[in-house]
A and B are shown apart, each in its own frame.
Chain A
Amino acid sequence: MDKTTHFGYQQVAESDKAAKVAEVFHSVAAQYDIMNDVMSVGLHRLWKRFAVAQAGLRPGMKVLDVAGGTADLTRLFLKEVGASGTVLLTDINFSMLREGRDRMLNEGRTPPTVQCDGERLPFPDNHFDCVSVAFGLRNMTHKDQALAEMNRVLKPGGRLLVLEFSKVWKPLEPAYDLYSFKLLPLMGKLVAQDAASYQYLAESIRMHPGQEELKTMMETAGFAKVSYHNLTAGVVALHKGFKV
């Protein structure tokens, strides 16, 4: 019998999760950026800038943006690594990747774009100075495998940045739950005409490992000096680890 995993609060066969996640992102891709702004009141831009500031990038470096979607991080990384550097935008979902690629083309940039699975990265060992995954790890079926893959493609001394929803500060939980399960699907319905996808978003956040748990997972995957920083009272956390 096929192993099961969670898809939001539902239990689904592991082999079905990727397709179900893909459905969600095909559905929201066109409205993804505007929904991010509406849902986070623009805060996601600050979270991403903070993540890039922690990447320690310099001109000429090679960066891999896993689950990069609409290229928010890729565009910021490009500014840091300059013309001599490389930023690879990847995503498993073609609709999201197309949004990101088109957005960059409209800005006159043509960074390499690759559709690939974060759990099976088609890149050589010890290749990148920095790997990032922003709001993507949550949707992966085998997070441990994805982290191990990211470790494999990083150069020794390179760093992994995981920006992801996390466990919010306890006193804020009731308000956050109200927002996530009542307001978020409503906003999804009004703005993106898709309440179900945003219901999944709220549920998947609750099912994602908390700060300490993810830290342990990164250490198990081979990362050293793993640390995290809570953003907006733990709504989001940035985890950072180094390949040794």
Chain B
Amino acid sequence: MIAAGIIERSLNHLLRQSPGTAEALLRHAGSSVRFDLTLAQFDFRIADDGYFSEAVVDAPDAIIRPTPALVTRLPFFGRDALRHADYSGDPALLATLDRVFKSVSWDVEADLAPRVGDIAAHRLNQLGRNALARVTQGFAALGYNASEYLIEEAELMARGVDVTRFNREVDTLADDTARLEARLNQMQARLPETAGS
């Protein structure tokens, strides 16, 4: 219950902060959307004003199943992380939802300003963004270094290009073997004719 309320409130807050998003959902007013998180399902209906409203839904018009990758990537990749969700249902509604989710953005500064003042909100926001950028950069560098070590130093992994070349060579070998086999079969088929004449 608490989670559904939080999701509803958060989604609507983001819609309010992102001009045009609620308006885009207006033409789907009355449609229902289910966020299926495997362990729990949260059903919402698009209200007459284009915002989400928690609802009782038997058969939702659209189902969104966020994958674990989305949850882990969301803080670092933001909207791009939404690619890591499975969508099913009404294509028109899904297209609108996809467009809306890609255009929503959280104006942290606007939320902080009434509590701490404009200047502090701006600085806190910058601080948070910089910290997040550094963390993202740190993780990216760590990943790069780890992959470099595994490929170049420990040789536990192959580079993408090497794998591609190897695959191509295996394909060529398979083709050659198939051709040879066909040739051998052909020759074997001719053998009794030659022996008989």
**Chain A residues in contact with chain B, CB under 8 A?**
53-54, 56, 58, 60, 157, 159, 224-225, 227-229, 238, 240, 242, 244
Given known pairs A56-B54, A157-B45, A242-B56, the reply for A229 and B2 (CB within 8 Å) is yes
Binds A, one of B4-12, B74-82, B126-134: B4-12
Contact among B2, B49, B53 for A56, CB-based, below 8 A: B53
List residues of B (1-29) whose CB comes within 8 Å of A's CBs.
Answer: 1-2, 5-6, 8-9, 12
- A-B contact list, 22 entries, CB within 8 Å: A53-B5, A53-B6, A54-B5, A56-B8, A56-B9, A56-B12, A56-B54, A58-B47, A58-B49, A58-B51, A60-B49, A157-B53, A157-B55, A224-B56, A225-B56, A228-B1, A229-B1, A229-B2, A238-B1, A240-B1, A240-B5, A242-B55
- Taking CB atoms, residues of chain A closer than 8 Å to B51 are 58
Prevailing SS type, chain B contact patch: mixed
- Taking CB atoms, residues of chain A closer than 8 Å to B12 are 56, 58
Prevailing SS type, chain A contact patch: strand
Given known pairs A56-B9, A56-B54, A242-B55, the reply for A227 and B45 (CB within 8 Å) is no
The answer on a CB contact under 8 Å between A159 and B2 is: no
Instruction: Quote the shortest CB–CB distance from B117 to chain A (angstroms).
Output: 20
| CA A58 to CA B12, docked complex, whole Å | 9
- Taking CB atoms, residues of chain B closer than 8 Å to A53 are 5-6, 9
Instruction: Quote the shortest CB–CB distance from A221 to chain B (angstroms).
Output: 15
Instruction: Quote the shortest CB–CB distance from A123 to chain B (angstroms).
Output: 21
| CA A54 to CA B47, docked complex, whole Å | 16
Closest to A244 in B: B56
| CA A53 to CA B8, docked complex, whole Å | 10
Indicate the member of A54, A224, A227, A228 with the most B CB atoms within 10 Å.
Answer: A54
Instruction: Quote the shortest CB–CB distance from A82 to chain B (angstroms).
Output: 12
Instruction: Quote the shortest CB–CB distance from A152 to chain B (angstroms).
Output: 17
Indicate the member of A58, A238, A244 with the most B CB atoms within 10 Å.
Answer: A58
The answer on a CB contact under 8 Å between A54 and B2 is: yes
Closest to B53 in A: A56
| CA A229 to CA B5, docked complex, whole Å | 11
| CA A205 to CA B9, docked complex, whole Å | 31
- Taking CB atoms, residues of chain A closer than 8 Å to B56 are 157, 224-225, 242, 244
| CA A58 to CA B13, docked complex, whole Å | 10
| CA A60 to CA B47, docked complex, whole Å | 12
- Taking CB atoms, residues of chain A closer than 8 Å to B54 are 56, 159, 242
- Taking CB atoms, residues of chain B closer than 8 Å to A56 are 5, 8-9, 12, 53-54
| CA A171 to CA B94, docked complex, whole Å | 48
List residues of B (42-58) whose CB comes within 8 Å of A's CBs.
Answer: 45, 47, 49, 51, 53-56
Instruction: Quote the shortest CB–CB distance from B27 to chain A (angstroms).
Output: 18
- Taking CB atoms, residues of chain B closer than 8 Å to A225 are 56
| CA A111 to CA B12, docked complex, whole Å | 25
The answer on a CB contact under 8 Å between B55 and A54 is: no
List residues of B (154-191) whose CB comes within 8 Å of A's CBs.
Answer: none
| CA A58 to CA B15, docked complex, whole Å | 12
Instruction: Quote the shortest CB–CB distance from B191 to chain A (angstroms).
Output: 78
| CA A177 to CA B107, docked complex, whole Å | 47
Closest to B49 in A: A58
Instruction: Quote the shortest CB–CB distance from B179 to chain A (angstroms).
Output: 65
Pick the 9 closest A-B CB pairs, nearest first.
A227-B1, A54-B5, A224-B56, A225-B56, A242-B56, A229-B2, A56-B8, A229-B1, A244-B56
Closest to A58 in B: B51
Closest to B44 in A: A56
- Taking CB atoms, residues of chain B closer than 8 Å to A54 are 1-2, 5
Instruction: Quote the shortest CB–CB distance from B100 to chain A (angstroms).
Output: 17
| CA A244 to CA B51, docked complex, whole Å | 19
Instruction: Quote the shortest CB–CB distance from A180 to chain B (angstroms).
Output: 26
Can you name 7 extra interface pairs (CB under 8 A) apart from A56-B9, A56-B12, A224-B56? A58-B12, A157-B45, A157-B56, A228-B1, A229-B2, A240-B5, A242-B55
0/1 string, B26-44, CB within 8 A of A gives 1: 0000000000000000000
| CA A244 to CA B58, docked complex, whole Å | 11
